[in-house]
Structures are given as structure tokens and as C-alpha cells.
Amino acid sequence: MNRHTLLIFGGWLGLSLLPAPGAAQSPVKSKDSSTANKLESAERGTKTYSGRILDEHGAPIIGAALQVVGTNLGCLTDGEGRFSISSPKAKLHIRLSCIGYQSLYSTISPGEQAPLILHSESKTLEGVVVTGFVKKDKKSFTGSQTTVQAKELLSVGTKNVLQSLEALVPGLQVLPQNELGSDPNARPELNIRGRASFSGAANLPLFVVDGALVTVEYIYDMDIHSIASITVLKDASASALYGAKAAAGVIVITTKPLERGSIRIGYSGTVRFSVPDLSDYHLLAPKQKLAYEDLAGVYRADQAGETQYRLDARRDAVERQVLAGIHTDWLSKPLRMGLSTAHSLSFEGGGREIRYGLALRYGDERGVMLQSDRRRVSGNFRLSYNSPSRLYLSNSTTLTHLAIERPNYGSFANFSRQNPYNSPYDEAGRLIKRFADDEPNPLYEASLTSYQRSRGLDLLNTSTLQLWLGDFRVDGDLSLSLRSSKGRSFRSPLSNDFAHVPVRSERGSMYEEQSESLSITGKLMLSYNRILLEKLYLSTLAGSSIEHNDQDASSYQSRGFYSEQLLHPSQALGFNSGARPRGSEGRSRAVGFFVNANAIWDNRYSLDWIYRYEGSSKFGHRQRFAPFWSIGAGWNLHKESWLRALRGLELLKLRASIGYLGNVSFEPYQALTTYDYNAGIDYTIGAGAIPRELGNPDLKWERTLSRNLGLDLTLGQGRLDLSLDLYRKTTDNLLLDVTKAPSIGTNRGTIKENVGQVENRGIELRTRLVPIQTKDWQWTLALNYSFNRNRILHISDALRTLNEQQLSSDSLNRSTRPLPLFEEGESLTALKVVPSLGIDPATGRELYVKRDGSYSFVYDPNDRRVFGDTAPSGYGTISSYLFWRRFSINAHFGYSLGAKIYNATLATRVEGANPRYNADERVFTQRWRQPGDLARFRRIDDKSSPYQTSRFVETEHYLTLRSLSLAYESDAAWLQKWHLRKARIELLANDLFYLSTVKRERGLDYPYARSLECNLRLSF
Amino acid sequence: MFESLPGYYDALYGIYGTMASGRLYGGQMTCGLVDKLGQVFGIVGNPSVPDASLLSYRYRDEEARKQIDALWWAMYQTIGYTNNALQSLEHPKFEAPELRTVQGELLGLRAFLHLDLLRLFAPSYATAQASAKPLAGIPYAYNYQNKNHQVYSTLECYERVLRDLDQAEQLLSEDEHIARDGDFEPNFVQAHRVVHFNKYAVFATKARVYRLMRRYDEAAKYARLVIQHSSDFHLAARGEFSTVTRFPAPGELIFGLYAPSFLQHVASIFLTAGSSGVVTEGRLPELLDELYSSSSSEGGAIDERYGSYYSKRGYSQFIRFVTTRPELLSSTAATRGLCLIRLPEQYYILAESLWDKDPKAALEALNAVRLSRGLAALPEGQFSSRAELEEELMREYYREYPGEGQIFPSLKHYAQPFLSITGERLIQPSTDIFVLPQPKLEVEKGDHFKQD
């Protein structure tokens, strides 16, 4: 839905969705009303009612509809906002409505009225749920959703929409990416209500911006100031209209509507300082490091080919450096204070019929690591035409240019492992290329002309149409999204990467990639609303949607650059021998038909039914179409007579819903047998093509049966607000490889089939308490809590075989990430390791517990047991909003409880530490050195990577201050000196602290950061 | 893919190309695994080499197991490819007279591939016939879909092979001009019928099947159909054997494959130097001497095949396909290929088929090959029984067919004791030897033979 649609929908909702007792029967028909007007005024004894309708600013509203409740009598306001109507009655119940404004019910007496004020629509948005198809009254909505207003969103920060959303929406979890830290170029991964896939960490929800389907990158790069509200649809009843894509949830973003009036200018600006958060790093000092090396036997010649003499000489050299006082703080070398800025400027205006808006935005996000930037420049132009109650047209075009730079020296880990006694510079102050032990100097790499850059261009155009035909309404939208990106990464020929390449003409490399995608989506629907039997409000909707997707990507690598100043692919001397360009392309189409019927009886009971029939070209011809549906029911208990007596009870609603949602998780061609020309097959007289894989025409959607039970409660004029949801989602038909009889003739031995089954169940709680509310003070406390448990119900034998293969691999058993071993009845994120008794004080070796309970020094992967779940048993946020007059202080705390963590720092930087590199302090204090030591970690000279055992499993509870902000907002008169209507200034700090029960290094490849930002918002 | 004729050709080339790969006819199905089972090649000096398992038929050994499983899988993959193309021909998207030929070739290939699977993984026809209850054969694949193929009895499998061949024969009825034209013209399908499964390949395969079924009238009929097609086929004249020892074997080749990497593969196996006295790949020279020696009655004629196939340097070196490495480099694309059906076999089939009714004609058929190979004709009355003839035919297979995967199936067909590769022991025929075990996964996941 387009942003303008918002207004229209609001108006329309006003007309139809909020009927007062004994409400209006149908929207105004201007033709009829004018004739009715004439007829009635012709009668004798009629009284004339007249007046003006104004907006909040006192401007006349033209074309507002006035309707006498319960009749067909009505009129429209003229160019000055005036109306005049005649009726024999002594009093008139009227209803005033206009697009973009809240409807107003009033009783008027004959004669000239005092001006009637209509309030603009945007203020009432909180009472409606935007599903992207229709807007529904929150009170009768049967689904589970969370709506977040712009204000709340901005109170968490302007850096990352999705992270802000996580703080406000229970059930939405942005997955911690310990490696990527605060990397501005890391795409966040998120789950809504748990994960239901065997591969990857997340199921990305569907993102919808004003009706257009967009990618998560688009959301990540979008201007947070342009957002009016975000609705997260979580259960079947809320999202079934999206059918086959809705299983992982839907995030509907509505941008700010265009307002009418003379030209208005808005400005928002942000300046953000980010400083790296290295509080989790506890590295060895030079002296300690050398002592550790001694203990670990680095300088003991115990390997063939090593001579003690040479090792002694090496040790002497190191000791000289230590004694010389060299203490390089390697951690700080690649870091900086990241200074990010963002500016958005908007112009908008227009009259009743035509409105326009132009927004420009520049944002430069600079990470705390050198050379990590994300720069976004975007422009948006919108135009709308509105002929009230007849036609509404709008178009919005957004063009975004994205420039990304990534560090040319690789990961932060290259620095955190450097030995503190090495200086990056030699005596003459030149950068050293490689240290004495042949370790490359990462700072040298950083000084080269190597780069890693990409550019992207993103065009999103959305057109919306609304048409009123009597009692029917037609809604249509068409959106086109075009993305293209180009990336280049250059490795300088002087880089250490090529130190061992003997041929000069093969040093240096350039990798170039390009991708393009086009997506067109369209939707057309017809809706009809009616009140029957006085109390039954019926709204129906039917429509169809289409989708077309095209993508194309290719990449190649060239090599050989004589100079590091030759930065263009055209300067390359050749290609890697045998290398081929790579690429992929795909095309898919989908079509869907949907029906939605919603009935509300007496504002007490509501029933909602959605059916969607959807087909996609990605599926096999036998399964091309599939049905999705949902049924939801709501009961407004507070409207019941027996509860009306309860004072202070504003809302008590029970909701329940059930339905099937889908998920498309595979490549366009998996269901079809397609051919491939194969380099290995040359039949001399012609090129041979063989099937790429046996396509499975029976492939179908992954389906999720989603059940939800919810309760909404509001007490004491909004003093307490609570939403509680219980859900159970059973996802079946999950795509998995299934082993087949070889005689079927598959190329890989397996075929993808819909066999997997996963269940997620959980609780979500959202509460809001207003302990203080006076004229000057307002204090709101909010608590979100989410709990999700995941269980595998069914897996395939191929997955079991894979489990076994992985189990038998020694290196995987020693890797820093515990193996994902899927077993029915267990969680997808179960942490399975071999139980350990700890370190034997006599030998310094680890003692394992076998399945039968006996002890052994021999590790057997089959002894693995479940040691809990890496998913927390509860997580959420605690927020506080304090307002005093025009000041506000907001704080958002995040917490997580009871997750079992495999502490990779212990496994790689303490125990599995390679003594050649720097390590965590605990290597020195907590490892076994001599018989009798009661140590937590193995003997200090054991350099092997440890097996995954329970010793590295820790329970994590954490508390973090996600954001703390102080803001001042004013629309006072003194601002007008500068032609300002409104101003807001805010200071906001992100991630000030992180308290955790697990001591581990965070941000391995890119450190975490704390940031402080200053936001300024001005409206002229 | 199947919207145009070139699409069909490319799919066909994909099948032929896959067959020509080392894991099938460019290796395992010919001079690799199958000839090792025929005691033709194999490294015996080194027990750590997996060949020992194959040469002594220890099919359960892991390495043998792996190779056999891989072979089964690759064969059914290729059958899958033919079935996918055949499926599309049920409702072709366009019409062209050439589609008949394409369909004929595909059906012929399906039969050919299933027959080769039968020859390895099912009991011999005679055994199955003699058995009181039906013996399981193999899955016969008719489609390329995600479902198991039905396993038929061995006898039924042979019938199904014949059914496919009958259909292929019909479809290829116009396919007359077979021999490869001299010019090497890529993409000219008509000119390269010999590297396609042509009509005479269908006849020859039928002769093969009927011979295995010991339905000698039909076997003779089809062998004759091939032999009498003299415009394309004729045995090499005496003294000219060297022109037909290998692909493209003009005049003798009925069906072969282009295999650009085959010679390289062969060279890497057979041209590596072995030390004297050690059997590396191939039979001991003494055994070969004995095999190719001519009896006194033949007037000291020399079997040209010996010198063309093997070089003796203290150990025997198989030089049939490529003699030296320099030769490998100089070979042209047109000569890089392999033979799958050659004319001499048809004479052997004819000889075996005619023996009961016309021993004289049978001997004539055998002598035709002997004469072509530089040997003297065997006199009338040489063989007093079918057993004697079959013994000589078996020796002929050993002489004529090393490197083509035809020897093991004949050992199985005749089911007589045979010499091991080193000549040290006589191997007694048994089902354990002649029926390779199907992959474990096939037994677990595949269709099971139901006796009805």
C-alpha cells in the first residue's frame, strides 16, 4: 500500500469501520444527496443547517462529506469549507468525513453552526492495524500483531531499523552475530517466532513497504525518518493474505503520508560517534606472552628439522623486544572513532486534489574499523491526485545509491592475534611486511592499495489507485523494484597473499561481480462493506496479485598486476588457469487469488476468514497451486454487559486464530529437470548436455500451521496495557535431501523432498504501565518478554547420514562452532557436546564421560549429549519513557536469559590457543602446568584444538543498555522567528554497557561499538 | 531443451558423452572393472591395490564394493538421461522426421545399457531358465522420476530388453548408411551414424541378446543381417588387421563412441612402465603366447592380433588402443574413441548359433575371422561337440576382445572353468562370481523383486 493510501484508507475506515450505535448505512453518494437535498428543501417547514468545517490549523476543508445519520441526506463542503443542508427535523445527527481526517459525529441545531473541526488522520493511526492489504480496526482485529509508531522507533536509535524493532516487538529476534559485531555492512538476520529451517540461522520474514515487497537490504538502507509506522504481523489471521510467503512473519512498513498545505520543509540530521567496545578482550602483555610461549614449549625443539640453536636465537630476539619495552596495542591499530552523519530534507505541499513531496537523503555510516563505510544517497518523489470519494491516484519513486567499502586487511582477528612484542614498524619507521616468524603484518596490508568496494543502485516505484464505485471500492497497486550492484575487490600484488607466488605476473588479483534483479508485483482488489441487521458489520474483500522476479549475477577473477597502482581490471595480465566466470540466473512468477471476509457483531464478536490460492512457477507442475487460509475470532469482553460494570476496564479482548501459511525456500529450477552443458562432456561432433539434477515435480510449499491465542487488556485510561500471545507453529513439508535408490539415477544420490517437520511454540508478552501521568509529567514503563521453544518433529535419512558423517570428522569435532546435529525430538539449536569431568590433575588431560557413565581419556563423538539450547529461554526489553513538559528521557534495556553458549573464546583463545599468537589472559592463569594443578583448562603445552565438550558450555544471562536518550521538542512561538514550526533535538547513546555471565570475546571479525548520536529534527 | 532438434541432439551427445567417460565405457565397463572380472587386466603383484579384490571376486571388499556401486549408479544415471529424453518424446513439442531416429537411438540405448547391467548384476539367462522359481533381475527403468523402478525377473528383463530393441528397430528402419564418412564434420549427424546407436547396432545387440538366451535362430538371423550389410561392414582383409585394431575400425565398427579423453586414460593405465617379470596390467606373456599360439595344423600362421594388441618387454603391455605416448599426442579428434560393437562378434554369434543345424557354416563363420586375423582356417571336423566349439569361441573372445568388456559376459554365458589372470589357478564358474552384488543402498531403498 502506498503511503497516500493510508489517508484514503483512514477516511474510508472512518466512513465504514467506526459506526456509532445506530450508525450510518452507506457512504455518501453525492449525486443522490444533491437531488435529495433539492427535494427536501422544496418541502415546507424545513430548517436550514449551515456551517464551516475546518482543520486543526483553522484552514477550511474542501469536499468534506456531511451525512445525516440514518438517512441518505448529505452534502459536500464547498471551496470555503461551508455546508448547508435542510431538514424538517429539529436536530440532526451528522457524520463528517473526509479523506485524511478522522470522522466526526456531531449533533447540530438549525442555523449557523460554530466551526466544526476535523482532526487529521495520522493521529488516529494507533487505532488501526495496517496489514498491507487493508487497514483494520484494532479492536476487531483477530490476529497477532505489534504496531510500532515512528516515535517509539526513533527512541531506540536511528542506526538500524531492525535492531530498533527488536527492542519493541516481542517475538522478533535479531540474531546475535558475534563475528560481525557492529560492522555497518553486515546484513542483520532475524527470526519472528523462531526458526523453521534446517540450513542457515534464520528465516527472514517478508518485508512490505507501502504495499511493495522489498528485500531486507532495502529496509536496512531505508531512511528511518520516512517511516510512519511498522506493523509486524505474526500469526495466520494477521498475515494469511500474504499466503505462500507469510510463514516467517510479515513486516509492513508505512511511510509518512503527504500532508496538504503550502510548501513545508522538514529536516532531520544525525551525527553519530562510535567507539569500539573492547571490554571483552583481555590479552596477554609482552612479558606474559613470552612466558606463555616458554610454557607452551614454543622454543623446545621437539619436531624433526628444528634445532635448539635456532629456536634459542628466536627466543633471544623476542626477549630483546620484550626488554626493549615494545608493547604494541594491536587492537587499536585498525580502529577509529567512527563518525557517521545523516541528513534528510523533505519538501511537501499541495492542495486538496494534488499533493507532492520530495525527500532527499544523504547518510554516511562509518564503522569503527578503518575503511568500513556504507554511504547511502537517496531521493524520493511522490505525487498524488485525490478526487474525494471517487478516485485516488498516487505514485512514489525512490532511488537509492549505495556505496560500500570494506577493510582491505581482512578481519579484526588478524589484529587481535598479533603478538604484543612485535612492532609493526622497523627501526627506520617503515612498515614491516612479515615478522620474524613469517606472520604477515596486517598493518602492512592496510597500507596497500587493495580495496573491497561495491556500489548499488536501487529503484523502487510504487503506483496506487483507488476507485469508488457505489458501495464498492477498487484498490490497485503496482510496484517495480530494480536493483543492480557491482562489486570489485583488488588485492595488491605486494600483498602477503602473494608472497609465495614465484611468478611476478601471477601476483595481485581483481575480483569483479555484478548482479541485477527486477521484481514486479501488482495487486488488484475489490472490497465491499455493509451493515446488516443494525449490528452486524460485514466487510469483504477479494482480489488477485501477481509477481514476477528476474535475477542475474556473474563474477570473474583476473590476476596478475605489475604495479599496485594499476587498479583496473583492464590492467590484469590474465586469469587463473582453468578458472571460469561464475554466475547464476533465475526467473520466477507467481499469482495469487484471495478472499477475506470479516464480520463484527455489535462490536463484541469478530470473525475473520481469509483464503488465498496461490501458484508459483518455482513448483513442480503437479503442485503448482496451493491453498492457504486462516480463521480468526475475537471477543471484546469489555463490551459485554456483565463486564461493563468494571470501572477502568477499557479493553479486554480474547483472540484466537488458526491457519496455514507458506514458505518458498528453494531455487527457481529445483522442481524441473533442466539441462546443463558440461565441460567434461564433449562428444566431438557436438556438445553434450545432461540433466543438472532430477527435478522433483512434487515439490511444494513448506507449510506452517500457525495457532495463536491472545489476550489484550487495557486498564485505567491506558494506565496499564497488556498483550499476551501464546502460539504454536508447526512447519511441515520442509525441504530436505532424501537418499534414493541409486537406480533412480539421480546425480547426487538424493532428491529434495518435503519431509522435514519443525515446531516452534512460545509466549509473547508486551506490557506497558504508566505510573505517573500529570499535566507535566508522564512516565511509561514497558516490558517485553518472549519465549520460544523449538522442536524437530521429523528429519530425513540423508540428514541423519550427514549427521553421522559430520560426527566422524575429527576436525569438525574440534571446530569452534558445535556441530548442528539434528535429531527428532530435539531443538534445531540444541547444543550437543561430550560431557567432560574436567582436567585430570595428574596428567593435565581431559577426562570424558562415556554414555554408560564410565570415564575415559579417549574422545568419542558418539558420547555427545544435549547440554541445553543456544536459544535463550527468555529475552526481551525493558523500556522507560519519561516526559517532562517538552523533555523526554528514554531508556531501553535488552535482556536474555538462560541461553547455553559454547564459549569459543575459551576453546580457541584459552585452551586451543596457538602459542604463536596472542591469547586470552586465562591461558596463563587457568591452564594446567604441573601434576596436582586443579585447572579448568588442559595442559599449557597442548597446542591441539580441544574437542567440543561440556567444559566450554556456559549459561548466558545478559543485560545491555541498548539505548539511552534525552530529547527536547518544541513548537513554541519563539521558534517562529526562524520560520520553524517544530523542532526536536535529541542525544542518544547506543549499547552503553553489556553485562554478561559469559566472559568471551565479542566481535571477532569486527568489534562491537558504543555510540553516541545527536539528532535534530526541524519542520519549517 | 526439447524444443528443437539441436536440443535433442545435445541431449543425445550428453548420453554418449557420459557413456564415454571413465566411470562407464571409457574405463570401468570396458578395459577397467569388467575386463578385470574377465581376468584380462589387473595388477596382481601388489596386494594393496584393489584389483586383487576384483580379480578374486571378493565383491564385499570395500574398494570393490565402492567401484561396483559407482558403476551401478553411473549406468542408471545414463539410463535416466535416456528416459528423460524419451519422456519428452511422448508429447513432442514439434514435429520432425528426425525425431523418429532420435527415439530409436534412445530406445536402443536403453536396451543396450540394461543388457550390460543384466550381464553383470543378474544371473545368466541359462541359470535363470533352469531355476524352479523366478530369479530376480534388475530394476528396469522406464522414466526419470522420483520413484523406484520395478525389479523384474531375469527372464522378464531379457524380454524387456528385446521389446525396447524391437521398437528401436522399427523406428530406425530407414537408418541405412552407417559407416563413417571419411570427412570429419562436427555436428553433421547423418554422417556419423557409427557413433550413434544405429539400426545395425540394434541388430547386433539383438544377436547378442538372442545368443545369451540361446535362441539361435533369431541370433543367427540378426547376426546375418549385420554381416550381410556388406556396403558398410566387412572384416579387414588378411594382412590389414592393423587398420581395424582400434576406433574407428573402419568396416568392422558397428557402434562406437567418441571419447576425447579415453586414450589418455588408457595410456595412464597401460603405458606406465612395469618392471620385468611383474604382471602389471595384463596377462603374463607366457599365457598370451599360449593363447595366440597356432597349432601345427595351421601351418605356422601368425595371429596378427597378438602383435597389434600387446608388446612384449619381459612383461606384456597392452598397446591396442595407444602404442606410445607420442602417438597419443599426435592422435586426431577423429580417432579418439572406443568400440562397443564390432563385426567379429557377429561371426562368433553366427558360429555358435549355426552349430546345431549346420556345423559347416558355423565353422565357416569362425574361419572368416581367423582368416582376416592372419590365421589359417580350421579344418572341418575340428570340433566334435558344441562344448569344443564354445571353448574355442571363448579363446577367440580372449584373443579378439581385450579392452572391450566382452570377455566376462562370455565367461558367464559359457559357464566353463577358466584360467585366472596369472594362469595359476582354474576358476570354477559360480553364481557368486558371475552375479555382482547390487549396492547396499539399492537393497535398502530400491524396489524388491516380488515373485508372482
Confidence band (pLDDT; 50, 70, 90) for B114? very high
In this prediction, residue A118 carries a pLDDT of: 78
In this prediction, residue B284 carries a pLDDT of: 73
CB contact under 8 A, B148 and A741: yes
In this prediction, residue B273 carries a pLDDT of: 58
CB-based contacts of B168, cutoff 8 Å, min separation 6: B104, B105, B107, B108, B111, B197, B202
Q: Are B24 and B78 in contact (CB under 8 A)?
A: yes
**Choice among A525-534, A649-658, B336-345 with the minimum mean pLDDT:** A525-534
User: What cell numbers appear for A89 in the block?
Assistant: 427535523
User: How many angstroms separate the CA atoms of A539 and A597, rounded?
Assistant: 6
Residue with more model confidence, B351 or A160: B351
Q: With 90 as the cut, is the pLDDT of residue A461 above it? A: yes
Beta-sheet strands, E only, within B134-247: 136-139, 151-153
- For residue B88, the chain A residue with the least C-alpha distance is A673
Confidence band (pLDDT; 50, 70, 90) for A969? confident
User: What cell numbers appear for A191 in the block?
Assistant: 527470526
In this prediction, residue A195 carries a pLDDT of: 84
- For residue B192, the chain A residue with the least C-alpha distance is A685
Q: Are A244 and A663 in contact (CB under 8 A)?
A: yes
User: How many angstroms separate the CA atoms of A373 and A338, rounded?
Assistant: 9
User: How many angstroms separate the CA atoms of B159 and A99, rounded?
Assistant: 79
Residue A842: strand, helix, or coil: coil
Residue A489: strand, helix, or coil: strand
**Choice among A1005-1009, B15-19, B280-284, B297-301 with the minimum mean pLDDT:** B297-301
Question: How close does chain B come to A697, measured CA to CA in Å?
Answer: 9
Cβ-nearest to B446 among A689, A690, A743: A743
CB contact under 8 A, B11 and A673: no
pLDDT tens for A699-719 read 888 888 999 999 999 888 778
CB contact under 8 A, A744 and B146: yes
Nearest to A523 by CA among A597, A616, A593: A593
Q: Provide, rounded to the nearest whole percent, the portion of chain A with pLDDT above 90.
A: 26
Q: Provide, rounded to the nearest whole percent, the portion of chain A with pLDDT above 70.
A: 93
- For residue B191, the chain A residue with the least C-alpha distance is A685
Cβ-nearest to B441 among A689, A741, A747: A741
* B147 CB within 8 Å of a chain A CB: yes
User: What cell numbers appear for A132 in the block?
Assistant: 498491507
Q: Average of pLDDT values for A880-884? A: 91
CB contact under 8 A, A683 and B79: no
Confidence band (pLDDT; 50, 70, 90) for B280? low
What is the longest distance spanned by two Cα atoms in chain A? 123
Tally C-beta pairs within 8 A across A and B: 138
Among B71, B145, B194, most A C-beta atoms within 10 A, so best to mutate, is B145
DSSP string, A640-694: SHHHHTSTTEEEEEEEEEEEEEEE--S-TTTTS--EEEEEEEE-SSSEEEEESS-
In this prediction, residue A829 carries a pLDDT of: 86
Cβ-nearest to A688 among B16, B72, B441: B16
Residue B12: strand, helix, or coil: helix
Residue that has been written with the C-alpha cell 537406480 in this structure: A743
10 Å CB burial of residue A938 (0-12, 13-18, 19+) is buried
- For residue A739, the chain B residue with the least C-alpha distance is B445
Question: How close does chain A come to B77, measured CA to CA in Å?
Answer: 4
Residue that has been written with the C-alpha cell 543345424 in this structure: B357
Q: CA neighbours within 13 Å on the CB side: how many for B406? A: 25
* B45 CB within 8 Å of a chain A CB: no
Q: Average of pLDDT values for A967-974? A: 82
CB contact under 8 A, A681 and B69: no
**Choice among A554-558, A640-644, A988-992 with the minimum mean pLDDT:** A640-644
**Averaged confidence pLDDT in chain A:** 84
Residue A647: strand, helix, or coil: coil
Among A623, A743, A747, A800, most B C-beta atoms within 10 A, so best to mutate, is A743
CB contact under 8 A, B10 and A675: yes
pLDDT tens for A67-104 read 777 677 777 777 777 888 888 887 877 877 776 666 77
In this prediction, residue A33 carries a pLDDT of: 43
Q: Are B412 and B124 in contact (CB under 8 A)?
A: yes
In this prediction, residue B361 carries a pLDDT of: 93
CB contact under 8 A, A742 and B81: no
Chain B residues lying within 8 Å of A747, measured CB to CB: 77
Nearest to B253 by CA among B349, B337, B377: B337
Residue length, chain B? 452
CB-based contacts of A809, cutoff 8 Å, min separation 6: none
User: How many angstroms separate the CA atoms of A431 and A428, rounded?
Assistant: 9
User: What cell numbers appear for B216 in the block?
Assistant: 539361435
CB contact under 8 A, B14 and A743: no
pLDDT tens for B254-263 read 999 988 889 8
CB-based contacts of A920, cutoff 8 Å, min separation 6: A282, A283, A284, A905, A906, A909, A910, A913, A1001
User: How many angstroms separate the CA atoms of B224 and B218, rounded?
Assistant: 10
Question: A760 — phi, psi (to 5°)?
Answer: -120, 135
pLDDT tens for A551-603 read 999 999 998 888 888 778 888 888 888 788 888 888 888 899 999 999 988 88
pLDDT tens for A523-553 read 999 998 887 877 888 889 999 999 999 999 9
Q: What is the predicted ipTM?
A: 0.87
In this prediction, residue A668 carries a pLDDT of: 65
Which H or E run includes B196?
Answer: none
Angle between helices B199-212 and B216-227 (to 10 degrees): 150
Q: With 90 as the cut, is the pLDDT of residue B163 above it? A: yes
Residues of A with CB under 8 A from a CB of B: 673-675, 677-678, 680-691, 694, 696, 698, 739-747, 749, 751, 753
In this prediction, residue B47 carries a pLDDT of: 67
Whole-number Cα distances in Å, A999 to A280, A812, B35: 7, 24, 64
Confidence band (pLDDT; 50, 70, 90) for B295? low
pTM here?
Answer: 0.81
CB contact under 8 A, B148 and A743: yes
CB contact under 8 A, A740 and B21: no
DSSP string, B356-393: TT-HHHHHHHHHHHHHHTTPPPPPTTS-SSHHHHHHHH
- For residue A745, the chain B residue with the least C-alpha distance is B77
Residue with more model confidence, A455 or A150: A455
Q: Average of pLDDT values for B85-92? A: 92
Whole-number Cα distances in Å, A691 to A194, A207, A300, B1, B2: 37, 35, 57, 10, 12
Q: Please report, as a single letter, which amino acid is at residue A568.
A: H
Q: Average of pLDDT values for B96-112? A: 92
Q: With 90 as the cut, is the pLDDT of residue B28 above it? A: yes
* B399 CB within 8 Å of a chain A CB: no
Cβ-nearest to A745 among B7, B141, B333: B141
Chain B residues lying within 8 Å of A688, measured CB to CB: 10-18
Chain A residues lying within 8 Å of B258, measured CB to CB: 683-685
Q: With 80 as the cut, is the pLDDT of residue B166 above it? A: yes
**Averaged confidence pLDDT in chain B:** 87
CB contact under 8 A, A681 and B21: yes
User: How many angstroms separate the CA atoms of B367 and B347, rounded?
Assistant: 9
CB contact under 8 A, A683 and B20: yes
CB contact under 8 A, B141 and A743: yes
**Choice among A289-298, A875-884, B59-68 with the minimum mean pLDDT:** A289-298
Q: How far apart are the first and last CA of chain B?
A: 40
Q: How far apart are the first and last CA of chain A?
A: 28
Residue B395: strand, helix, or coil: helix
* B91 CB within 8 Å of a chain A CB: no
**Choice among A277-291, A723-737, A806-820, B361-375 with the minimum mean pLDDT:** A806-820
DSSP alpha helix (H) spans, A307-420: 308-323, 413-416
